[in-house]
Chain A
């Protein structure tokens, strides 16, 4: 199926796309067909800056299992940071 299930957040940071590093302005998280991953549906994340054009995008397509593990890893890493660092 083609879903339109999407979460968008504003982003501050940088990503490295096909043309090198660029400043991020948005992150889109959505569930849909992957372009490359070998699965019917994946959790897709686009780190992007639309003002810099379509190619200012870092894309990942993750299985649901990997996506959930990633969420935990990010939370664990941030929680383990020394006080005042982040």
Chain B
């Protein structure tokens, strides 16, 4: 792995045929690769999330991260766009699925793509990764501390529904990475989700890291926990390595 990559902003066709912005990173000098759709966290399509997309490219995957707030605030700074999206009640679930489908199609259309597509999301994106994996035909999904899958938090918009009822439709193996100190989701909620997935015979592996709470992968935030993040990334590489190989 030489970690050579190219990264750029591209336009993809999202939900309802909308043209939306996406950050795209791909490995250089590699004849074949799988694709990974990166779903950004609730604070938005920011530099830290773009760094994660580049990390996937450095590890041999083509990564596409749609700007989920592009419609609300094209060209705005990520924090301003996130504030607008938040004030509007977040991203509608149906629109999210369409945007992830568009990013997956973009990746499948690359000449060197091996046809395998994974999805990974952080924070609200963790919930959305599960949603996408229950709504689209994918090859592997990673949920990083996504809340509101089992229970929806107080104050959430009425349109936000729990997703646990979709578990029977999970289309691919699921890796869950959670913090033991997180409140959304709590370890009890992730245990409940695991039990429901067991009941449907859905392949999944959940890891809950001690000493970590929500957003432990975020290197630029106080929530960052180096031990959990390092172990978590190792789980991601192992998981995608098994399910996205050509």
Give residues in A with beta carbon < 8 Å to B. Answer: 1-6, 8, 18, 28, 30, 32-33, 35-36, 38-40, 46, 48, 50, 53-55, 57, 59
- Our count of residue pairs bridging A and B at CB distance below 8 angstroms stands at 79
Q: A7 — nearest CB in chain B belongs to which residue?
A: B155
Does the CB pair B183–A1 fall under 8 Å?
Answer: yes
Q: Chain A residues near B43 (CB, 8 Å)? A: 33, 35
Q: Which 3 pairs of residues, A with B, have the shortest CB-CB distance?
A: A1-B184, A54-B76, A54-B80
In the complex, B230 has a CB within 8 A of chain A: no
Residue pair B183, A59 in contact (C-beta under 8 Å) = no
Query: Which B residues are in CB contact (< 8 Å) with A18?
Result: 77
CB–CB B222/A59 < 8 A:
no
**B155-168 vs A: 1/0 string, CB under 8 Å?**
11100100000000
Q: A4-B89, A4-B155, A55-B80 are in contact. Are A40 and B72 (CB under 8 A)?
A: no
| CB-defined contacts of B124 to chain A, threshold 8 Å | 2
Chain A residues with CB under 8 Å of B147's CB are: 1-2
A5 to B221 CA separation, bound complex (whole angstroms): 21
Asked whether any CB of chain A lies closer than 8 Å to the CB of B82, the reply is yes
Tell me the complex Cα distance, A35–B45, Å.
12
- Kindly identify, within residues 41 to 68 of chain B, every residue whose CB is under 8 Å from any CB belonging to chain A: 41-43, 46
The DSSP consensus for interface residues of chain A is loop
Contact check, B81 vs A54: say whether CB atoms are below 8 A apart: yes
Give the chain A neighbours of B76 by CB distance below 8 A: 53-55
Chain B residues with CB under 8 Å of chain A are 41-43, 46, 72-73, 76-84, 86-87, 89-90, 123-124, 147-148, 153-157, 160, 182-184, 213-215, 221-223
Write the nearest CB–CB distance from B229 to chain A, whole angstroms.
15
Name the residue in B80, B183, B221 with the highest tally of chain A Cβ atoms < 10 Å from its Cβ: B80
Measured between beta carbons, the chain A residues less than 8 angstroms from B160 are 4
Known contacts being A33-B42, A55-B80, is A40 close to B214, with CB within 8 Å?
Answer: yes
Please, could you name 23 A-B residue pairs with CB atoms under 8 Å apart, sorted by A? A1-B147, A2-B124, A4-B89, A4-B155, A4-B156, A8-B87, A28-B87, A33-B41, A33-B42, A33-B221, A35-B43, A35-B46, A35-B78, A35-B79, A40-B213, A40-B215, A40-B222, A48-B83, A50-B84, A53-B76, A54-B77, A54-B81, A55-B80
Closest to B125 in A: A2
Cβ of A25 to closest chain B Cβ, rounded Å: 12
Q: For residue A38, which residues in chain B have a CB less than 8 angstroms away from its CB? A: 221-222
B-chain residues with CB within 8 Å of residue A33 when the two chains form the complex: 41-43, 123, 215, 221
Known contacts A35-B82, A59-B79; A6/B87 CB under 8 A: yes
**CA–CA, A55 to B77, complex, Å?**
8
